[in-house]
Structure 1
Amino acid sequence: MLKLNNQAVTDDQLKELFPDLPAGPLDVYRKKARFDWRRMKLVYDNLETLKLKNDIWNFMRENPLFRHREATPSLDEQRHITTKRMYAIYSQNFIPLTKIGVEPRLFQSEAEALFMFDSSLAVKISLTFRMFSNVIQGSGRSHHYSYIDQAQQGEIGGCFALTEVSHGSNAKGMRTTATYCPEKKQFIMHTPDFEAAKFWVGSLGKCATHAIVYAMLISKGKNHGLHSFVVPIRDPKTLKPYPGVTVGDIGEKIGLNGIDNGFMMFNNYHLPKEAILDKFGGVDDNGDYKTPFRDPNKRFGASLGILSGGRVHITSISANYMQKAIVIAIRYSAVRKQFGPDNSSEELPVLEYQQQQVRLLPHLATTFALRIFCTWFGAVHITMAIDNITGGSGQDSASLGIELHALSCAAKPVCAWAARDAIQACREATGGHGYLKASALGELRNDNDANCTYEGENSLLLQQTSNWLLAVWPRKHQLSPSDHPLTSLNFLENADHILNNTCPWTKVEDMMEPANIIEMYKWLTAYTLKTTYEKVESLKAAGRDNFQAKNESQPYNATTLSIVYGENFILNHFYKSAKDFHDLECRKVLLKLVSLYGVFLLEKHLATFYIGGYLSGRGRGGVCVREAVTQLSGVLAGAAPALADTLAPPDWCINSVLGHADGEVYKHLQNNVMTYPGALARPEWWRDVVHWQTYATSKL
């Protein structure tokens, strides 16, 4: 029995949810694992979240609507089937929107269960119901909650409209306006031109009836900045747009085509005064601006916590994609055999080759790191949203919102790029078969690609984080816990002393010790902040203004700083979670994964360690780091298939001929090829092959 968070979980309970896996070629590796793959799930899940995912998967498996299609449907068919599936899931009410006392991790688990089946479905239901309602709960007042009730009943569907054609990451540059008219007690929403049109709005293209629209609030001739409004855009009974609203679909995308992304413009569209979500700021009947925050930055900081929800969610989306891809690649690598020792006819699984280990195992470690972090991070944001509803946060929400904004602006790029690199590595590591659509890796790669740009293009988002960190550095000695309630600035404790240190470790074994890796990363994070700050200040001293100074300090300084800051937090969270895990055998493996994730990150920043003088000599420290990556990958290779079992969704859900739990790759491949629609049939255009000369001549 394992006891987590005062909740006892028995092996029988776990086995009931996750029966024995089918026998097959993967058994050779599974027998090598000394840890229980089911128990390992509890490092990021609990019994309640596991049951929820199981309930969702059982519902989908038994419903014909959720059967996968072999051939790619048309764009309209993808939109249609995703919408039907969304309502089928939503009608089950697995997590009631009005249930305030719910375990926050349940929302993460619901999303994970859906992403393991279909990305478009998961995003669609999140945008239409979850995000729409969460923003209203976080930024609105009681008179807005009727919209949540309507969404709960499925009477309306929402969307989130922030990005404009010519402005995305720069939220302060948005040009859609909402001008208050005190005579009519109305806001007049207007789009000055197409460049100000709301764009990329998920679920808007065909379906949404209401939108959370972000617009510049103008009253008495003064612009009070970006505020959110609940805006009816289509008649819920006819889906026809209201007069004054132009709305449409933006067309086919690289991936996620089950989601109807759309655009929207307003032509002096009148809204009642109550449309504004004014918990953090609004106008009275006379048009005078009112806010509970004296400092406008505090108001913006509190609202940032709400705006961070999309980025927080994307960190978990990235982890979901990565999780699915690494399961497929690891299982395939344990079955696929190629070559072998000299003078031997025996072929070895490609997982036994060091190059395959080094190209996959660090990504497996990263998947566990991100899965654990993202589950926690999502719960933090949901808890903050609940506190906003119940009034439990007050002014404290400002500092939490600002830190959450900074951390999400770093974590979202870190996670999205980690998933991008991992999925590509998995695609290549599975060889030619990985290029088949039936491998599922291509769709994962395309769907994840959106994570690198939406809710803020990654490189631009990193500037948000570095700006906050640069403002923190001069007062590093005066920081208190209230300045960073999530503890993301702990690396600044004794920063001056840490920065005077050099690496005391000279052996590979030392580089594998998690505590040592943590110390090295603490130095790296403090060093990149210090040098970035000095670079900005030196540019200002040379006559650059603030914008120029920050602009000219992005490559190799501010960008690296934000990435390292995000990686440092994720690494520390992973280490703490591994150390605190109750099961001994699982803990041993988790700590090895922490080490591999840590040295994998360190290797990317070796140049900075040498430039900063932390590592010196003839590169022995760097050699040790790289050797640690290689050795740890080899040590974990035998356990990799069992670790993949921990991460894996059900076979019908993963939907990959290369990633089934039974390891029968070639049987599944044969079945897929032989039954693919039209695979064995003569093409209808066969005459164009046989009589090509006739057709070619006739056109001359």
Structure 2
Amino acid sequence: MDSDEADATNRTAESGDSPDRDRAAVARRVERLSSHLNPPPELFINGGLAVAPCAARAKKIEVDKDRLSAYMRGKYRDVQQGVYDYFNSRPELQTPLEISKDDHRELCMRQLMGLVREAGIRPFRYIVDEPAKYFAILEAVGGVDMSLGIKMGVQYSLWGGSVLNLGTKKHRDKYFEGIDNVEYPGCFAMTELHHGSNVQGLQTVATFDPFTDEFIIDTPNDGAIKWWIGNAAVHGKFATVFAKLVLPTHDTKGVSDMGVHAFIVPIRDMKTHNTLPGVEIHDCGHKVGLNGVDNGALKFHSVRIPRDNLLNRFGDVSRDGKYTSTLPSINKRFAATLGELVGGRVGLAYSSVGVLKISVIIAVRYSLLRHQFGPPKQPEISILDYQSQQHKLMPMLASSYAFHFATLHLVDKYSEMKKSHDEELVGDVHTLSAGLKAYVTSYTAKSLSVCREACGGHGYAAVNRFGSLRNDHDIFQTFEGDNTVLLQQVAGYLLKQYQEKFQGGTLTVTWNYLRESMNSYLSQPNPVTARWEGEDHLRDPKFQLDAFRYRTSRLLQSVAVRLRKHTKNLGSFGAWNRCLNHLLTLAESHIETVILAKFIDSVRSCPDSGSRDALKLLCDLYALDRIWNDIGTYRNVDYVAPNKAKAIHKLTELLSFQVKNVSKELVDAFDIPDYVTRAPIGMQATEEAYSHYTQFAGF
């Protein structure tokens, strides 16, 4: 019986007794509250907070940060270090704390040119042949300056990627070298003023003229202006323009709309850099963040381009105006086109983890450095010794590791897809990239604010980077697909798999746990296991993964039933909208399940026992923290009994404490140099942090 239950028993026993007993009960309660606010000295050991008996018995894990780092960063550590070393050797290319929009844009271009032409790091070479190496470079470049990371992504993932993935050999032969050495800086002109996520609703038109063998690119109204186009305002010379392909016909219709296709459109003169005739370019101006990227708006007035400028991998137009395609419908061609462009989402998910790592490094190191309050007449204690600070930061540290392995898995699947072009794998990667991009970027955005607050007033200083990291990263939740829209795509794919299960269809590898979900996971919870609360059971990967999969299965089954019910009265769109919040929760639950599964696999695969123990600790914290955060769901269906829920909460706090004990080694294992994190309060040698910090105030 805990203290609150004892109080309740005493109050019951004392009800109706004398006023003296009532006063005594009140006095005991006041005394207990006072002890919470002013803990007695015996609760402290050597100036630090005393450890709970169960924590005191726990064996401290020994972490070799070099071995853990080697397992984390793998074979691309050297190429990332090459990026770091180049910018460290060129201080004039490092982004200053205060810089104007125009100067930042020019600096970003010089940074990209220096990386490619001086350092000899050519990311474009790896886009198709070795995507994992490309994304490793992208993460390192984003750590130097997030604007540079996005500018590089526009040049190579988007503009270059569209030429390689949507074009054919003639396009690669003509444009590859110029894109690679940045002689052909380009844009990716998909988003329009009135249409962002709804790409099929784009209004820009490309009409074929059979007399001149050209396409005519037109912006029919202001809503069709291409908007937020990176590289357009200042540096771009080409744009991949997404437009409806329209062919003249001899019937009463006059024209035939073949759906959205991509076209290479020159927008500036190669020598003079002047805007070309018919092309109108405007600057989107100062933004909340990423001001090193020159976003612009494009409008086209009867701009003529050769027929060969159609990126014709999935559909082509002959000299006499006949359309041919290996894919039978507009929807099939559209799906194939977008399927080849998922690399941008993969890059954003991967890069967002890099941002999360930097913010966690700064917050954890500062929390170890900063001492505040403590027991009477004893030294102040580290703020990371406080349970509240552990609660903020340790699950976040665990999540950064979880996301690291999940996005590595995504890159592996993406690389496999690029080689095999397997249709099922394309669907899996499209959905997995959408879900991880949405989940990881949303989590990182929230975490940046938590890290800033965890560092108090010093977190508000611009030099300590949380402001710029938060502002630059914020748009990750929107571009390459709004996160809410992307989660709906994940939910839609889950429902499709659910339907195929009951129609006797096969399930792809990524989703095969749903086969069991519809059977064992949806049976009545076992009343015995619902009460198991031993640490060995709660830290068993099978229990953790079963709990995640059970939740996803319940959500999937219930939303399928709700959609079927509401469709009868509201129609399919109305039913979807009625269940939208449920669908988003389902998608997030599934993505959390995938992340945990990959984390568990990575723990098992770690060859070093000390690193494996540390990763197991982080994995358990990630899993149990997520279960506790959604404990209401598990309690509502009796999957977790009250005593077990309490045990999960207590163990989560214990695991946070244990992770705290090795938190310095865990953030050091990210192996990001101080000259990349660039935050005085987040330096690896914490004893020097304050002396460096004061220099920024002129001391």
For normalisation by structure 2, the TM-score amounts to 0.86
Question: How do 1:657-696 and structure 2 match up within 5 A?
Answer: 657-663=680-686, 664-674=688-698
Would the alpha carbon gap of residues 103 and 673 (structure 1) be closer, same or farther in structure 2, given more than 3 Å must change? same
1:80-99 to 2 correspondences below 5 Å: 80-91=106-117, 92-95=119-122, 97-98=124-125
Does residue 519 (structure 1) correspond to residue 546 (structure 2)? The answer is yes
Match of 2:47? none
Q: By how many angstroms is 1:511 displaced?
A: 2.5
* Structure 1 residue aligned with 2:154: 127
Once the two structures are superposed, the pairs formed by residues 401-550 of structure 1 within 5 Å of their partners are 401-476=426-501, 484-485=508-509, 487-502=510-525, 504-505=529-530, 506-507=532-533, 509=535, 510-541=537-568, 543-550=569-576
Unaligned runs of 5+ in 2: 1-59, 249-254
Q: Are the counterparts in 1 of residues 533 and 648 from structure 2 also a CA contact under 8 Å?
A: no
Larger helix fraction of residues: 2
Q: 1:17: which partner in 2?
A: none
Partners of 2:504 and 2:439 lie apart in 1 by 26
Matches within 5 A, 1:6-17: none
2:315 paired residue among 239, 257, 281: 281
Consecutive unaligned residues in structure 1, runs of 5 or more: 1-31, 676-700
Question: Equivalent residue of 1:635, what SS?
Answer: helix
Contact 1:44 1:375 in 2 (8 A): no
Structure 2 residue 222 is the aligned partner of structure 1 residue 194: yes
Question: Aligned partners of 1:164, 1:473: CA distance in 2, in Å?
Answer: 34
Q: Structure 2 vs 1, CA of residues 628 and 421 (structure 1 numbering), >3 Å: closer, same or farther?
A: farther
Distance 1:171 1:489, change over 3 A: farther
Distance in 2, matches of 1:209 and 1:601, equals 47
| 2:264 counterpart of 1:264 | no
CA separation in 2, counterparts of 1:101 and 1:73? 35
Q: For 1:159, what is the secondary structure of its paired residue?
A: strand
Distance 2:437 2:219 in 1: 30
Match of 1:167 among 195, 199, 218: 195
**Alpha-carbon distance change, 491 to 130 in structure 1, aligned in 2, over 3 angstroms:** same
Counterpart of 2:378, as a letter, is S
User: Does residue 405 of structure 2 align to residue 377 of structure 1?
Assistant: no
Range with greater deviation from structure 2 (497-506 or 353-362): 497-506
Tell me: CA distance 1:383–1:185, structure 2 relative to 1, closer, same or farther (3 Å).
Answer: farther
Helix, strand or coil at the partner of 1:344: coil
Match of residue 74 from structure 2: 46
- Three-state SS of the structure 2 residue aligned to 1:81 is helix
> Which of the pair has more CA radius of gyration?
2
> Residue 5 of structure 1 aligns with which residue?
none
Once the two structures are TM-superposed, the CA of residue 427 in structure 1 deviates from its matched residue by 0.6
Paired amino acid for 1:306: E
Are residue 139 (structure 1) and residue 155 (structure 2) matched? no
Q: 1:124 to 1:189 in 2, by over 3 A?
A: same
CA shift in 2, pair 1:522/1:233, >3 Å? same
Aligned residues of 1:43 and 1:372 also touching (Cα < 8 A): no
Distance 1:148 1:101, change over 3 A: closer
Q: Deviations over 1:615-669 (max 9, x none)?
A: 3x5x334323322321110111111111110114111111101111110221121
Residues 54-81 of structure 1, C-alpha deviations (whole Å, 9 max, x = no match)? 11111111113233424x1111111111
Q: Does 1:300 align with 2:319?
A: no
- State the secondary structure of the residue aligned to 1:213: strand
Task: Check the 8 A contact 1:202/1:259 in 2, yes or no.
Answer: yes
**Residue 228 of structure 1 aligns to a residue in which SS?**
strand
Identify the residue that residue 177 of structure 1 maps to in structure 2. Answer: 205
Question: Is 2:636 the partner of 1:632?
Answer: no
For 1:433 and 1:538, the matched residues in 2 are separated by: 54
Alignment-mate amino acid for residue 671 of structure 1: Q
Q: Tell me how many residue pairs correspond in the alignment.
A: 628
1:207-222 paired onto structure 2 within 5 Å: 207-220=235-248, 221-222=255-256
User: Percent of pairs identical after alignment?
Assistant: 29
1:613, CA displacement in angstroms? Answer: 4.2
Whether the 8 Å contact between 1:488 and 1:569 is mirrored in structure 2 is no
1:33 Cα offset (Å):
5.8
Distance (whole Å) between structure 2 residues aligned to residue 337 and residue 267 of structure 1 = 64
Q: 1:641 to 1:96 in 2, by over 3 A?
A: closer
Matched with 2:178 is 150
Q: How many Å separate the matches in 2 of 1:180 and 1:484?
A: 40
Could you tell me how far 1:490 is from its partner in structure 2? Answer: 2.7
Q: Which amino acid aligns with 1:89?
A: L
Does 208-217 or 283-292 show the bigger shift?
A: 283-292
Q: Are the structure 2 counterparts of residues 508 and 271 from structure 1 closer, same or farther at C-alpha, using a change threshold of 3 Å?
A: farther
Amino acid at match of 1:352: D
1:145-193 deviation per Cα after TM superposition (whole angstroms, max 9, x unaligned): 1112211233211121111111111111111111222232221111111
- What's the CA shift string for 1:596-619, capped at 9, x where partnerless? 11122222322322344433x5x3
2:138 is aligned with 1:115: no
CA distance in 2, matches of 1:273, 1:568: 47
Separation in 1 of the partners of 2:636 and 2:195?
37
User: Displacement of 1:295 after TM fit?
Assistant: 5.3
**1: CA distance, partners of 2:291 / 2:269:** 24
Query: Could you report, residue by residue, the CA deviation over 1:305-343 in whole angstroms, capped at 9, with x for unpaired residues?
Result: 2222221111112111101000000111111101112x3
Q: What is the rounded CA distance, in whole Å, between the counterparts of 2:262 and 2:415 in structure 1?
A: 19
What are the Cα deviations for residues 268-320 of structure 1, in whole angstroms up to 9, with x where unaligned?
21111111111122323333332222355443332232222221111112111
Alpha-carbon distance in 1 for matches of 2:89, 2:277? 43
- 1:362 maps to 395
Contact 2:517/2:553 (8 A) holds in 1: no
How far 1:572 moved relative to its partner? 0.9
Measure, in 2, the Cα distance between the counterparts of 1:479 and 1:64.
62
Instruction: With a CA cutoff of 8 Å and minimum separation of 6, indicate the structure with the bigger relative contact order.
Output: 1
> Counterparts of 2:353 and 2:615 in 1: how far apart (Å)?
17
State how far apart, in whole Å, the 2-side matches of 1:309 and 1:226 are: 19
Instruction: State the Cα distance separating 1:38 from its structure 2 match.
Output: 1.5
Query: In the alignment, which of 253, 267, 270 is matched to residue 287 of structure 2?
Result: 253
Corresponding residue for residue 260 of structure 2: 226
CA RMSD across the alignment: 2.1
Q: 1:646 & 1:451 partners in 2: Cα distance?
A: 25
Whether the 8 Å CA contact 1:205–1:263 is kept in 2: the answer is yes
Mean Cα deviation higher: 507-516 or 206-215: 507-516
Aligned to 1:614: 639
SS of the residue aligned with 1:338? Answer: coil
Deviation at 1:497, TM superposition (A): 2.1
Q: Cα deviations across residues 396-445 of structure 1 (Å, max 9, x unaligned)?
A: 2x332222222222111100111012111111111110000011111111
In structure 1, the partner of 2:56 is none
2:616 and 2:404 map into 1 onto residues whose CA distance is: 15
- Out of 52, 61, 65, the residue aligned to residue 37 of structure 1 is 65
- 2:613 aligns with 588
Asked whether the 8 Å contact 1:492–1:526 carries over to 2, the reply is: no
Whole-angstrom distance in 2 between the partners of 1:95 and 1:58 = 16
Task: Give the TM-score, by structure 1 length.
Answer: 0.86
